[in-house]
Structure 1
Amino acid sequence: MSARPETLRAAARADLGRLRARYPAQFRTDWPGRARLAALLVVLVGLAALGYWRLDFSAARILHGLGRLGTFAVLMLPPSPEGQFWTFLHALGETLGIAFLGTLTAAILAFPVAFLAARNVVPNPFARFAVRRGLDVMRSVDVLIWALIWINVVGLGPFAGALAIACSDFGALGKLFSEAVETCDRRAGEGVVASGGSALHRIRFGLIPGVLPVLASQVLYFFESNTRSATIIGIVGAGGIGQYLTELIRVLELQQAAFLVLMILVTVAAIDWVSTRLRRAIIGPAAR
């Protein structure tokens, strides 16, 4: 039977003097380290205060606006489509289509590029550097900016929205896929090479089967997230339910706007429920 924690604690305190004498460095207070930590905290607090001051943050304005927020909340009740249910449902389906096609396109494009950015596949550091910086450029531009770019290229509508999500997610998925490939167990690939396989055989039979469940889980998560992103980019004219939402808010049709928000919440919750179970089926019970 193991000793109780109280007994172990009492024994350690009784032997504290001998431990201090034997390991003085472990009990010595690191005053320079504490000073650096305190200085870092002071700098962070100072930056936060400067940011609040420069952004004209005001608690009084927030408290004053709470009354108007309550008025808006009352005007949104009860949520009602007011005869536009099927129109809203079609727009919601369009939003899901934008998220699905954008995520699928990004995953298909990012899959082969990720191997070019992985250290255990491409040993040349210059080639990896070029691929990684290209992925950084793609994911550094927000999906809303991509939507504005593609709207000017292909015009208004869901096609521009799907292209915006594909461009934004291509860089993010490429980075995540490459990191998954780099952390994959090497023993399977080494076994393929030891059996006479080529470098392509090592990737096909040693790396891909090991990382495929992780990649699928990441794609499912991005699809869930892109359902919300597709709503946002619709506000700038990239199709979907966001176009209706922004127009209804502008003309203060708040009951219809509340109904759209409710539809979005139910849809996101349903996708989260389905994707969670798919992730568990793909990578096991440990998936969230």
Structure 2
Amino acid sequence: MTVTAAQIAAARAELPLAFQAPLPVRIRRYALWALFIGLFGWCFYAFDFSPERIWTGLGRLGRVISFMFPPHVWKSWEAFSEILKGLGETLSMAFLGTLLGAVIAFPLSFLGAKNINRMNALRLGTRRGYDIIRAFEVLILALIFIRAFGLGPLPGVLAIAVSEIGTFAKLFSEAIENTSRKPVEGVVASGGSRVQSVRFGVMPQVMPVILSIVLYNFESNVRSGTILGIVGAGGIGFLLSDRIAAYRWDEAWSIIFLIILMVYAIDWASGLLRARFIGKWEGAR
């Protein structure tokens, strides 16, 4: 027997209470909505989100943006080469930090994967280690390493690398756990050892995911490298901060445009790498 929409509408009109959620469910729903609206309103009040302040801030922002145009054009190679050097330092920081983090995190990820490491204490301890590393923001790590190693790109590389160890190890271990058991069982049934089952059963499945994660985080670390330069870790961020502090807004806008262009180029190149290498790995499965 098929119930039509008209019959449902008629039953709802005749017995509206039968279609309502139970009273405890409705009370919880209203309480959650009240808590959400109250928290939202308190944040607006505590952070002084007044219409007057927003309007004044928008006016100041408009004046700052007006100072950025027309963009600055460097007329000497000496001045422009300094900007290119800063962009190169930021790109190198992101590349080295991402590479070091991935290299160190890759073996650690196997210790945190439950289908590889059957010792619960070691696996859970390793995972909590991931969480501890990820608890430190890369900017805080940069400030610590600047105090230890001085100004320059080295603290930025170390900050990115340490931060990425925790992130990569967690994501890699989850990717390893989500692999299918059938290829592993096939290798074992053919007489392969446990190491061979990982090499030929797990790795072909997980490498495309790992490569995609590394490329995405590399793009993100290029942007992070810009922020690290502002606190003294070298790169284009230091030059950008210097121009903003000197109220040279036209140069700041030109630097921002070059950063956007660099991020776009990296995104385009990483897309090509994904299409080539991920397809290669998937074809070998």
Normalised TM-score (structure 1): 0.88
From 44, 50, 69, give the equivalent of 2:36: 44
* Equivalent-residue separation in structure 1 for 2:7 and 2:269 (angstroms): 56
For 1:90, the equivalent position in structure 2 comes to: 85
SS in 1 for 2:115: coil
Partner deviation per Cα, 1:36-95 (whole Å, 9 max, x = no partner): 222112112212222222223323111111111111111111111444211101110111
| Amino acid corresponding to residue 170 of structure 2 in structure 1 | K
For 1:275, the equivalent position in structure 2 comes to: 270
* Equivalent-residue separation in structure 1 for 2:93 and 2:34 (angstroms): 45
What's the CA shift for 1:197? 2.0
Q: Provide the alpha-carbon RMSD of the alignment.
A: 2.2
From 59, 63, 81, give the equivalent of 1:67: 59
Are residue 120 (structure 1) and residue 115 (structure 2) matched? yes
* Equivalent-residue separation in structure 2 for 1:27 and 1:52 (angstroms): 37
SS in 1 for 2:4: helix
Answer whether contact 1:217 1:282 (CA < 8 A) is retained.
no
* Equivalent-residue separation in structure 2 for 1:67 and 1:51 (angstroms): 23
Are residue 57 (structure 1) and residue 52 (structure 2) matched? no
With over 3 angstroms needed to count, the CA separation of the structure-2 counterparts of 1:154 and 1:81, relative to structure 1, is: farther
* Equivalent-residue separation in structure 2 for 1:274 and 1:33 (angstroms): 51
Moved more, 208-217 or 36-45: 36-45
From 154, 161, 181, give the equivalent of 2:156: 161
Partner deviation per Cα, 1:182-215 (whole Å, 9 max, x = no partner): 0011111111122222222221111111100110
For 1:6, the equivalent position in structure 2 comes to: none
* Equivalent-residue separation in structure 2 for 1:37 and 1:283 (angstroms): 45
With over 3 angstroms needed to count, the CA separation of the structure-2 counterparts of 1:74 and 1:217, relative to structure 1, is: same
For 1:13, the equivalent position in structure 2 comes to: 5
For 1:23, the equivalent position in structure 2 comes to: none
Answer whether contact 1:98 1:162 (CA < 8 A) is retained.
yes
| Amino acid corresponding to residue 42 of structure 2 in structure 1 | L
From 260, 269, 281, give the equivalent of 1:265: 260
* Equivalent-residue separation in structure 2 for 1:232 and 1:81 (angstroms): 23
For 2:183, the equivalent position in structure 1 comes to: 188
| Amino acid corresponding to residue 29 of structure 1 in structure 2 | A
Are residue 235 (structure 1) and residue 230 (structure 2) matched? yes
Are residue 109 (structure 1) and residue 101 (structure 2) matched? no
How many residues align structurally? 270
* Equivalent-residue separation in structure 2 for 1:16 and 1:273 (angstroms): 53
* Equivalent-residue separation in structure 1 for 2:4 and 2:196 (angstroms): 57
What's the CA shift for 1:35? 2.7
* Equivalent-residue separation in structure 1 for 2:25 and 2:91 (angstroms): 52
What's the CA shift for 1:256? 0.7
| Amino acid corresponding to residue 76 of structure 1 in structure 2 | M
* Equivalent-residue separation in structure 2 for 1:14 and 1:257 (angstroms): 64
